[in-house]
Structure formats: C-alpha cells, structure tokens
Structure 1
Amino acid sequence: MSDTDALQPTVDFLRRHAPFAQMGTAELQSLAARAKLAFFARGEVITAPEQGPAEYFYIIKQGRVRGETGGDGEAWELVTGESFPIGALLGHRPVRTRHRAVEDTFCFELPRSEFDRLREASPVFGDFCARRLASLLDQALRRGAPASGTPASSPLGTPLGELTPTPAVIAPASTALRDALTELERDEGEAIAVTDAAGHPAGIITLRDIATRVTLAGRDLATPVGELADAEAPALDITAPAWAAARALAESGRRHLLLTRDGAVAGVVSEAAVVGGDAGLVALARAIADAPDIAALAALQADVHAFIGRLLAQGAGADAITRVVATLNDRLTRAVIHHILAEHGRPRTAFTWLAFGSEGRGEQTLKTDQDNGILFEPADGDVEAARAELLSLAGTINDGLARVGFPLCPGNIMASNPDCCLTAGEWRERFARWIDQGTPQHLLNATVFFDFRPLWGDPEPAAALRGWLGEAVAANSRFRRQMAENALRNRPPLGLFGEIKRSAGDDGRPGVDLKVQGLAPFVDAARLLALAHGVAATHTLDRLEAVVTAGGLDPDDASAWRDAYEFIQWLRMEQHRRQAAAGEPLDNRVDPDGLNELHRRILKEAFRQARKLQARLALDYQL
C-alpha cells in the first residue's frame, strides 16, 4: 500500500468537516501525514491552563470533549470534526479553557509548529483560524444556494472598491462633451464620472444619457459635461459595503453610482456589479414608484419575495438582505401613503410616520406585520381635532398597507390606535412614564417602541425625540438595570454542556425558536448598549458597531456577536424562503436535528455567543 493510500481514510474524514472540506487534496494529505492519532480516556484532561502555552492542535475523530471555563461555570461540548484550542495556539499562550474527554475519545494531534505551517500554506485554514465563526458562516453561505445549484456569488457584503467597476472616464464639469466622448470611445468606457473643480462628485453621464440627453436632444458637442450630468446620482466611498450601494440605487432609481476615495471621484459601479448580475433591484424600485394605485403595489409583493429568494440563493448574507428588504418595504410604505394622500387629500396637520420594532430597526424578513405610529404637532394648538383627523387617515393607511402585504398588528401597535398617534410632548410623557415606573408591560413596550425611526414626513421631530430618549435612559440607571434583567429572560437554548435543547412548539414539533431564543438576545442587548452609550442607531449591527466606536465593547467580541446574529437571521430567512416556495405558513421554529452538520455546528456556536453577550450584561449590571 502506498503512503497516499494509507492516508486516504484520514483525508476522507477531514473532507467531511469544515474548514477542511474547502481545502485542497495536497493540503489535506500533508495534514494527514503529520497528524498523529491520540487516545483520551473518559474524564481525562486534554488541555488545561496550568500546562503552559498550548503545544498541540486537536481535531476530534471520535467521541466528545467538554470545554470548561471555570470562573463563570460555563461549559460546552465539542463533537466529531470540531477542533481546539485555536486561540491559545495563535496567541502562543496557555489555554483559558480546560478540555476534558466526556467519553473515550480519539483526536488527531498536530504539533504547534505544523499548525503554524498549515496556517501559512493554506489560505482556507488560515482564514478559518483568524475568523473562525465568520469563516464557518462564509462556508455555510457558499453551501446555501440550493435553489441555484451553483456556488454562492452575491457581492452584497463586499466593499465597493473590490467590485468590478464600470469602465468610465473621469472628467471635470468644464470638459467639453466632445473631448469626454473622444476619451470614452478610446477607453471603451460606459460612463462619464463628472467632478467639480476639487475632484468631488458632480454627476454621471451614462451611454443611455448620451442617447437621450445628447443625441435625441440635439445638444452641441461643445457643451460642458457638467450641464448634462445627472447631478442626483448617488456617491459612496470605496470602503462602503455593496449593500449600501444597493440601497442607494433602489432609493434613487438609478443603475449606476459614483465611487469616491477620500471624497474624490474614483470611478463608477453598476447595479449588476452591486447585486451580483441580478439587475432586478432598480427595476423593482422603479415599479414601486411608478405603480398607479395600491392594487398595483399589492401585485409587486410577489416580485419582492422572488427577488429576496434570488439573493438567498446567491448566498447573500442576512444583514445585506434585511437591509435591502427594509429599503423595498420603506418604498412600499411611502408609496401607499402617497396614493392615499393623493386620493383623500393632505390633512391640515403635518405628521411624521414612525416605524417601530423590526421595521424600525430595518431588520424585516419575509414574515413581518405592521408596527407604526404618528408624531405630529398641530399648528393651531388644537391637539384633539388634529388627532381625530390623523386617526381617520391612519386607519386608511393601515388598511392600505395590509392590502400590499403587511398584516395588521395583532397587538394594535398601529398609527390608527390613539395611543400611537401622539404629539412630541405626549410621546415624551409616555416614554418617561415607562422609564420612571418600569413595570413588566413598560419594559415590553420599550422593546418595540424604542426602536422607532421616521419613514415619511419631516424626520427632525423624530430625531429630537431620539435625542431626548437617549438622555432620559442614560440618566436612569435603575431602568437600564431593569432593561438588562428583561434582556436576560430570552435565554439561548443551550443545555448544561452546550448542547442545543429542543422544546415542543404549539404544534407539538420539537425545535428552537430562532427569533425569540436566537435573535432576541442580540437585539435586546444591542438596544440597551446603544441607549447606555448615547447611540442613535436602531439597527442591531449598527448599534454594536457604534458602541465599539464609543469604547463600550471589545471589537473582537462585537465581531463574533455580529457573525452569530447574522447566521441565525440567515437561517431564519432561508427557512422562510423554503416555506414560501412550498406555499406553507412562515414560522421561526427550526429543528436542529434537521440541519446539516455545518449549520448545526454554527448554530450551536451562535447560541453560545448569545450566552456570552448576556453574560456581559449580567456582569455590567450585577445580575
């Protein structure tokens, strides 16, 4: 038997587990040749802090290993295919976790020198060691394209500077059109990026613009390009993620945007590059804007669902998808309000339409209902008359939103409810009562209402209310402690040793609730951290990032929590996509035993990260 044949069983084993499944044959053969099989009897300690700097990398071949942290009593189990202790090996330090064999266990054992060599030789393994949970998430998304049958290709999480740009000419606004077109023809470009005298964005001229604004309009070729450019074209820095460009394109209804570097124009990028070849986003946004009535808007909901399904099939991350969903839903909401105001006339009192809950956070999925309200200030001081008029209008808007696919809120958190149609002073009074009294119902209300953002109308009153709320919560330590207690009520479903605990749902099926047990711990913790640190953002991941910037969180911890949150959200959305395709009701429960090994492994780690975040709150507030 050749050496290669002798190594084949080990190579085959490694191929069944992440991250090794993504590594090349030569890399796996090298790993198999250098790893030795070690046996650990039940109860035997494999690693411990007192042993000094970690010397070996372990891959569990058979059996189970329990990790114990000691101080907080946290423990979890590692199973076949999982590896440890990566952090200690990277840091050339002792482990912080005592690993003990739960039963007779076999592990492949790789010396630290060979571990370091493998990290340098294999980009896949190096990425896994550096990012761990994020790396596993990437692999899950690459596998998560069952509808397309092809590897995931969505660029929505990619920085704009890494996308393929649209061939373009960069020209100052004073440049004659003839000169710009000559350069465009020479470089085989598709757009002219127009700048002001300082090099800042001044607009775009696309090939379509040349046909409509120049040829058909009979413009003189001596015309400065600045007079012809689309000055409203969006612009973003090359470091911005592609999903931000997708939102900007959808909001503007344009198919190209300007790229900048340190404020100066650096190029042009197209919708196709941003959304991964699917040119349906801007067309969908335009269809919403051009819909002649609410019935036409209702017909577009199926197109929105289909578009989101394609993004999932491409392997787009949940964060990017929910932001795109929020953008499209925002446009649908504004379109409904526009049509109703056009039909019924504008009220005498100006108002701001507020979104609460997941809509307020910009984290909607395919399963969502209405959570909204009105903020107003009557010019003539007659609050009740203004409220009566606005309540009637709000009822019509709520019904219109229901017609286009946003079900009425079962809890009546809607603008047509007098409790949700208030002046700025009344909103402050209501919020102040919740903060001062802090009853269980008040705390529950806070989890929905404190995530508000304006969707229609003047945003300034909402911004002022947000500023007041931040100051009021920051000044009341008792209420923040109550919020922390409330945030710890939804515990991730982990057992004593870190195994996922299933429970029966209303239909009797075993599983876990991804929304309540998985996402809520991150959402509630991020809300509290944001309010405590004066952060105005409402999106959960934006809140975590802003708290890091404010010095309130360790960047590595926040990164792990972001990855965990995004995987749970992705798993939830993928389930919704499958259920919608099958014509089934959408729900948030999933049976971990029905997941593949990689998804089950990441879900367990994601729940463990949720538990770590809750432990941080418990420590901060001495709970």
Structure 2
Amino acid sequence: MSSMQPSPTAQAAIQQNSQAILHFLQQYPPFNRMEMGHLLMMIEQAWLRFYAKGTQITSPDDEAEQYWFLIRQGMVQGVRPNPKYPDNTERFVLTVGDSFPVAAILSQRSTRTTYIAHEDCFCLVLSATDFVKLLRASEPLRTYAIGGISTLFEELQQQAQARASAHLGADYSIHDSLASLIVRKPISCSAELPLQRVLQIMQQHQIGSMVIVDEENRPIGIFTLRDLRRVLADDPQNLYVPIGELMITDPLTLPPEASAFDAALLMAQHHIGHVCLIDEDQLVGVVSERDLFSLQRVDLVHLARALRHAKSIKALQQLRTDIHHLVDSMLAHGADANQITQVITQLNDHTTSRIIELVLHQQGDPGIPFNWLVFGSEARGEQALVTDQDNGILFLADTPEQAEQHRQKLLPIAQAINTALDQCGLSLCKGNIMAGNPKLCLSLEEWQARFDEIMNNPDPKRLLQASVFFDLRMVWGEDLGFKKLHRQILNQAQQRNRFLRQLAKAALNYPPAPSQLRRWIAKTVGSSSGAQLDLKRHGLGPFVDAARVLALSAKITQASTQERLDQLAAKGIINDKDAELWSDAYRYLQLLRLQLHQRQKNAGEPLTNTVRLDQLNQLHRRMLREAMHQVRYIQTLLNYRYRL
C-alpha cells in the first residue's frame, strides 16, 4: 500500500465540503443513527482519497490494517480466497455507503480480502486508531461493526413497524412476554368442586375460565364459559357434578417467558381462548384471548376461529379479505416475516380444513377416509399473500383395483375442494399439482412408489417434482400412514447420493439475475431505472432449494427453511455464522415480499413477486445487495459439497 498520510489538499477538500459530507453520511446506516458530535468528529479526522480504476486499495500483503475506508463515490471489488471451499474464490462489489475492512481492524490483523477500485472512486479514509476511538464513542457504529447484516435487518424491521404504527396505531409489541400480561394471581380450584360452585367463583372474580389443579398446583384441566353451554345442553343436572368430570383435560401451556405471538398462534392452531402459564410445572397465570393484543382491525384468534366455523364458502371468502389487514397489524406490533408467513399459512390451513368439511357436507361422505396433503410453501409454513395450491390426497387401499375405485369416488370431491380454494384466493396451480389431478390422488402404496420413482430416476422432470413434493405436510384427516411414509422418504433420501447430487445441481440452475439487475446489485438503483427483481425466483427460491437438499442429506424432519438452517447448524453441517447470515437474508427477502404485496393490495393492483428496484430506499438497497451475496454463498456451499 502506498503512503496513506493525508495531504493538505485532501484534508482541505473535506473541510470545504463538510456540509455535503455530513449530508452524505446521514443518508446511510449506521451513520444516520449517530450523534451529530460523533459525525463531526469523523469529518474532522477523515480525508478524501481518489483511486483510479484497477488500483489496489488494500490487501492481505499489507501489515495489520491501519486504515478504514468509506466509499463516497464509485465501486470497489473485493476478492477473497475461500478457505472452506478452495476452488471457489469469493468476489463481491461494494458501492456508495459501504465500508471496509472492519473485521481486520477489530482483530488488529491484515485483511483477508484484496480490495481493488472497480471503477474510478473516492473514499473517505480514517486511521484505524481514530476509527476505533469512534467505535468506542458511538454505540450505533459499534453495533453495526459487530452485527453487520443483522443490524441492517433489525433497522428494516423497525422501519416497517414504524410505518405500520403510524397508519394503524400500536400500543405494544407481540414480542412482549406473557409474564408482562399477568395482572393478578391465577384463580384455580380442585377437581372435586361441583360445577355450580365453580361458576359462583368465576362470577365473583369476573373470569371466563377456571383452571383445575392437583394437590401440587399443577394444572390438570380447564373449564370455560364456552364449555358451560355444552355441558348444560347435555344435562342440566351437570351443575352438581364435580368439575373434574366436566373439564377439558391436559390444558395447553406455555412458560411465562413465551411471547404474546406464541400464545396467539397456539390459540389459533387449537381453536381455544385460554392458555395456562406454568413455571416448573406450577400454575402461575392464565392468559386469555382478551388479555392478548387485539390486532387492531382484526384479531388473529378470532379470525382463525371464524374461518374454522364458517357456514359457507361465501362466508370464507368474506372473512379472508381481512388477512391483509392482519398483516399490517402484525407488522405494527413487531412481528417479523417468519411470524407473518406462519400466521398466513395457519389461516390457509383453517380455510382448507373448513372447505373440505363444507364440500363433504354438500356432496356427501364418500365413505373413504383420506388425508389432505399440502406441498411447497404451505408445507414449509412460508406462504405470502399471493400463493397458489400444491396439494394431494392420501387414502388406503388393499389392491390396485380398489385404489382405482377409491380414486374415482374421491376425485370429484377433490376437484370441488380445489375450486372452492381458488374462490377463496388460493389460486389453482398452473402445473396442476392439485388433489383433483388423478396422479396426486393416491393410495399410501402409490405415494411410496411415486417418491421411489423420483429418487431412483432423478431426471429434470422428476427433479422439478422433488422441489415441490419433498416439502410435505398433512393438513386434514386422521393419520392413515402419512407420518410413517414421511419417515420412510427421509430415510431413503439420505441414502440416495445420486438423487441428492442431482437435486443439488438443480438447485444451482436458477436463471441468473438479469444483467441490468446484476449491475444494480453492484452499484445503485439510480443507474438501473426500471429494473425489476422477482423476489421468489432470484432470492427466496435458491435458499429454499439449498436448504432442502442439505436437510434431506441430514434426515432433518422440519420443512421450514428457517428450521432447516437452524438444524443444519445444530448438526454441524453448516457453521452458526452462515446459518445466521442466511436466515437473516431469507427473512429480509420475505419481509420485502410481504411489504410489496401490501402496497399492491392497498393500491388495488394484482399481487406479484416482482419489485421495482427504483422504489427501494438506501437501506433496502444495501440489504438487498447483501441478501443476494448470501444467495451466492449458499450456492457455493452446495457446489463444493457435491463437487458440481
């Protein structure tokens, strides 16, 4: 590295343009969150340096890093050998607002990356000593230097919540612990107390439920006012029966440190209005639906219950119009993309289950038990506001002839269900991956044969099927062998090396982002006016496919991409840092997609996955570039692991 001592001209350039430099800094994180005094300190100590295209700025050949660089104009390329994957040298481009080499300065070592001016550029330069002093003084700068992409993602979450709160109003976060909602000691009773006395106590304390406990204060049952209607309708003399004979046994429980979101999702999943809080098996509180947040225009628990008990397809259609309001409200209360997609999927599950019941009521029970299976994003719990159907039917049959007979009876029902789902906003699958397709209305043995065929003959067509069918979950019906089938699939997939290698190869076959986009990723949105990005195709898809391959190789049962990454890290297949970076990048892309859908919905536009790049702010630009870099890194791992 050539001498870096600032010239009088370089220092004068900073002082003469201090207001412009200050304005520049305030546009980019984390400088936009720093105190004015710390920004002025940076401007006073920094100098401006020009680098012509192709100039090496700093490299591993230099001694312990002595300078910190912030790009003011232009682009800088980083070239770094990958010690884990020697055949894959990592290359990336930094642009305006990016800085380097932070890790080297913090570790007091030389950088492991060679930084070269990708085009003519200007950098603000600060000595490592002054940069470290600034880190000690400024908490936002220190947090960003340590947290990196996670800090950017957190700031984006805060921006999304602030926008939704300004529109809707918000009193508290769904991340609040349940302990913070407990306002009094729980009211409980023993199992011997008659119902009449229990009701008197409930009336006295103005509560809607009574928890029944044993001698050691452990909850063994719960009785609610909703249960009262049931037991009195059965027999009015139940007023004098011990509550232990009328209660709902094994009440659902959560620890006090669980969040309001955890309780709301549990209530929505199980159609209940109360959750017991236990600490070391002891009852410490009860949280009701009323105690939880009311998600402004729409209450999650109420909407789930309403969907599950809708009287008609038309009623379901009307109820589902509230889901996008729920998404707005969840953002206002602090939900992240993972939580929101879980809720959307849960509500879609309730819609599906109720449609099945309504269709069976309309057409009559065929007398053939079946399981309704879902694939793809619904199986992973990752559905957004725009989604299509991927589903199938599993039934039992003793012979191929009987299987065909059952199929002919079930197909009209399946097709009616598919049509009703489409009417409720879950679009028909263009690839006909639906239960109404005879090839997806199969007996247990036929499903096993279908998966065997995919794994034994992984040609392009079957690999495309694998990208859908190997994310699977049962939504409706008493289990007819689905869990056993799932275990068999995982056991067999782990042993099929050729199948896994071909699946990994297919995961790398996503078409590259358009050249206009690639340049935008490297530079700024202003240089690519009109460029667009398909968030599902170019961003989310590669993460989903890579995580699926790695999870199948490790026999991981979880279907969600987030849980798969967590389990892969727990098993040591990927390191914790990679798991965190990839999870953050994936959650960010999901958040960007949800925000896009909300804007389109509010504007009355069709819902798509295509975002216009010139509509993104500075923070989104940086985060999207980083997310796309992480896409490349996870694909690099697949490439190296399977020698592709």
Category of TM-score, reference length = shorter chain = 0.7 to 0.9
For 1:142, give the aligned amino acid: Q
1:131 equivalent to 2:142? Answer no
Structure 2 counterpart of 1:84, from 100, 125, 130: 100
Deviation of residue 437 (structure 1)? 0.9
Distance 2:174 2:144 in 1: 18
Report what 1:75 is aligned to.
91
Alignment of 1:385-396 (within 5 A): 385-396=405-416
Deviation of residue 237 (structure 1)? 3.7
Deviation of residue 389 (structure 1)? 1.3
Deviation of residue 453 (structure 1)? 0.4
For 1:59, give the aligned amino acid: L
Report what 2:617 is aligned to.
596
Which consecutive residues of structure 2, in runs of 5 or more, have no partner in the other structure? 1-13, 83-87, 524-528
Distance 1:310 1:458, change over 3 A: same
Distance 1:573 1:603, change over 3 A: same
Question: Is contact 1:65–1:101 with CA below 8 Å preserved after alignment?
Answer: yes
Deviation of residue 152 (structure 1)? 10
1:516 equivalent to 2:516? Answer no
Question: Is contact 1:156–1:274 with CA below 8 Å preserved after alignment?
Answer: no
Question: Is contact 2:164–2:331 with CA below 8 Å preserved after alignment?
Answer: no
Deviation of residue 338 (structure 1)? 1.3
Question: Is contact 2:174–2:333 with CA below 8 Å preserved after alignment?
Answer: no
Report what 1:280 is aligned to.
299
Deviation of residue 323 (structure 1)? 0.4
Alignment of 1:405-420 (within 5 A): 405-420=425-440
Report what 1:577 is aligned to.
598
Report what 1:533 is aligned to.
554
The secondary structure found in structure 2 opposite 1:490 is coil
Distance 1:201 1:542 in 2: 30
The secondary structure found in structure 1 opposite 2:385 is coil
Distance 1:200 1:160, change over 3 A: farther
For 1:87, give the aligned amino acid: A
What is the number of residues matched between the two proteins?
Answer: 614
1:488 equivalent to 2:499? Answer no
Distance 1:605 1:185, change over 3 A: farther
Deviation of residue 256 (structure 1)? 4.4
Structure 1 counterpart of 2:28, from 1, 17, 40: 17
Report what 1:66 is aligned to.
77
Segment drifting more, 555-564 vs 19-28: 19-28
Report what 2:263 is aligned to.
245
User: CA-to-partner distance for each residue in 1:140-181, whole Å, 9 max, x for gaps?
Assistant: 222235864639998999766487323131466549999999
The secondary structure found in structure 1 opposite 2:414 is helix
Question: Is contact 2:380–2:471 with CA below 8 Å preserved after alignment?
Answer: yes
1:94 equivalent to 2:114? Answer no
The secondary structure found in structure 2 opposite 1:164 is helix
The secondary structure found in structure 2 opposite 1:141 is helix
Q: Which structure has the greater CA radius of gyration?
A: 2
Distance 1:50 1:230, change over 3 A: farther
User: CA-to-partner distance for each residue in 1:168-227, whole Å, 9 max, x for gaps?
Assistant: 3146654999999999999999988765555554466899999999xxxx99xx999988
Segment drifting more, 51-60 vs 387-396: 51-60
1:257 equivalent to 2:275? Answer yes
Structure 2 counterpart of 1:400, from 415, 420, 440: 420
Distance 1:208 1:122 in 2: 55
Distance 2:381 2:150 in 1: 22
Segment drifting more, 401-410 vs 377-386: 377-386
For 2:547, give the aligned amino acid: A
Distance 2:489 2:317 in 1: 36
Report what 1:144 is aligned to.
160
Structure 1 counterpart of 2:310, from 291, 296, 300: 291
Structure 2 counterpart of 1:612, from 605, 608, 633: 633
User: CA-to-partner distance for each residue in 1:406-432, whole Å, 9 max, x for gaps?
Assistant: 222221111111110111111111111
Report what 2:578 is aligned to.
557
Question: Is contact 1:373–1:415 with CA below 8 Å preserved after alignment?
Answer: yes
Deviation of residue 20 (structure 1)? 2.0
Alignment of 1:150-229 (within 5 A): 150=166, 161=177, 164-170=180-186, 173-174=189-190, 196-197=214-215, 200-202=218-220
- Identity across matched positions, percent: 36
The two structures have a TM-score, normalised by structure 1, of: 0.86
Distance 1:32 1:614, change over 3 A: same
Distance 1:526 1:158, change over 3 A: farther
User: CA-to-partner distance for each residue in 1:283-325, whole Å, 9 max, x for gaps?
Assistant: 2112112311111111112112322233345563211110000
Distance 2:430 2:318 in 1: 24
Distance 1:419 1:442, change over 3 A: same
User: CA-to-partner distance for each residue in 1:478-517, whole Å, 9 max, x for gaps?
Assistant: 1111001000011563869875389xxxxx9641211111
The two structures have a TM-score, normalised by structure 2, of: 0.83
For 1:577, give the aligned amino acid: Q
Question: Is contact 1:349–1:379 with CA below 8 Å preserved after alignment?
Answer: no
Segment drifting more, 483-492 vs 372-381: 372-381
Structure 2 counterpart of 1:445, from 444, 457, 465: 465
For 1:593, give the aligned amino acid: D
Question: Is contact 1:530–1:543 with CA below 8 Å preserved after alignment?
Answer: yes
Report what 2:377 is aligned to.
358
Distance 1:46 1:199 in 2: 68
Deviation of residue 405 (structure 1)? 2.0
1:474 equivalent to 2:494? Answer yes
C-alpha RMSD of the superposition: 4.2
Segment drifting more, 49-58 vs 482-491: 49-58
